[in-house]
A and B are shown apart, each in its own frame.
Chain A
Amino acid sequence: MTVADASVKNILKVFLKIGTFAFGGVYSMLAFFERELVQNRKWLSQEEFAESVVMGQLTPGAPIINTGIFIGYRLKRLKGALATVAGQVLPSFVIVLILSYLYIRYKEIALLKAVLKGVGAAVVALIASVVYSMSGKLLKEYKGILIAIVAFLCLAVFKLNPIGLIVAAGIVGLLMSREEQRNGNL
């Protein structure tokens, strides 16, 4: 699979699959994106994927939908973007509609709770595996590793705002490359 296979129809197919099976919210969906689009189909490079994640976070609305739109637009402009939204939203729309109906009727369902407990644990494994595969490819020098560790601590320990952290990391990147340029000019 290469970028040449990324027709509107194929984009819709992939995102329907993502939309159907990505339980567990935003971060497990990111894991699916990475597997399907970067590793399996090779429509995006690892770096383009990281860019898309950031774009999704920095724009208003649901980040995961925004990341999809950005990827779809990159591959096939407006039609590609619309295909990603349709693919991601349709399956969950139908499922929520059915669940709403059942939920309002029957309230508590024990089996559903048991299933969710198992799924919840697997979601954590999925995110950890994405961290593993992304860091192998993107963290090549000590500055990058340092930024990753600081960002991790800021969120895990100090509970700082993720959007603020991404903006701050961008500024650090700017300062770093100015420094590099200045050193290069000397």
Chain B
Amino acid sequence: MEIFRFFWTIFYINLFTIGGGYVMLPLLQREVVDHYHWLSNKEFVESIAIGQVTPGPLTIMNVFIGYKIFGFWGALGAVIFSYLPSIILVTIASHYYLKFKNSWIVKASFQGIRPAVIGLLAAIAITLGRASIVDVPTGLIATGGFAILVFTKVEPTFVILGSGVAGALLY
């Protein structure tokens, strides 16, 4: 059955890739396009775009792929098998982490990891900024949004929605 082969592909890709959507893409492309010929390369790029414009993780693009190949049941199976590995593995990891949290090794390594995360986020902000701040209006939206988020208690939801509206009016 073709659809079960698809579910298994989604399941094991999510089981073995650490680091998220972008790490997963090459593997997914190899299976879905090159190996099983379920999608063309162009359709694969379309599914990435859908994953990026919708809220939620990039891996939600699997739902689009599932829908495109197998219709509704493909979409439903894609969402289940994308997140099942996480539910199993992270629950187990959380259990042990919270148990051994006060151990010296965990504490000490997080002493280095926490500041590194801040540095990584800053680098990502710049990478994304290069791609999405392309002219004066987008520059204004970004600086205005930053000021609102840092200096007021306005919720990010409104900032995101507001800038969507601004985009629609400006372009």
Which residues of A line the B interface, CB within 8 A? 17, 19-32, 35, 47, 50-51, 53-66, 69-70, 73-74, 78, 81-82, 85, 88-89, 91-93, 95-97, 99-101, 103-104, 111-135, 138-139, 143-145, 147-156, 161-163, 165-166, 168-174, 176-178
**Which B67-118 residues sit within 8 Å CB-CB of chain A?**
67-68, 72, 75, 79, 82-83, 85-87, 89-91, 93-95, 97-98, 104-105, 107-118
Task: Give Cα A120–Cα B135 distance, bound, in whole angstroms.
Answer: 12
23 chain-A/chain-B pairs, Cβ below 8 angstroms: A19-B56, A22-B160, A29-B57, A59-B18, A59-B93, A60-B86, A64-B57, A65-B59, A73-B90, A81-B90, A93-B63, A96-B64, A114-B170, A118-B168, A122-B163, A122-B164, A129-B149, A132-B150, A152-B122, A155-B120, A156-B123, A165-B116, A174-B105
Report A86 CB to chain B, min CB distance, Å.
10
Are B111 and A173 interface neighbours, CB within 8 A?
yes
B113 contact set on A, CB distance < 8 A: 50, 54, 166, 169-170, 173
Q: How far is the CA of A173 from the CA of B105 in the complex (A)?
A: 9
Partner of B86 from the list A66, A96, A119 (CB cut-off 8 Å) is A66
CA distance A32 to B57 in the complex (A): 13
- Please classify how large the interface on chain B is, using the bins under 10, 10 to 19, 20 to 34, 35 or more: 35 or more
B25 contacts partner chain A, Cβ-Cβ < 8 Å: no
Known: A60-B89, A69-B91. A131 touches B121 (CB 8 A): yes
Residues of chain A within 8 A of B58, CB atoms compared: 25-26, 62
From B16, B18, B121, contact of A127 by CB (8 A): B121
Chain B residues within an 8 Å CB radius of A88 = 56-57
Neighbouring B residues of A153 by C-beta, 8 Å: 119, 123
A116 contacts which chain B residues (CB < 8 A)?
A: 53, 164, 167
Q: In the bound complex, do residue A61 and residue B132 qualify as a contact, i.e. CB atoms below 8 Å apart? A: no
Which residue on A lies nearest to B97, using beta carbons? Answer: A55
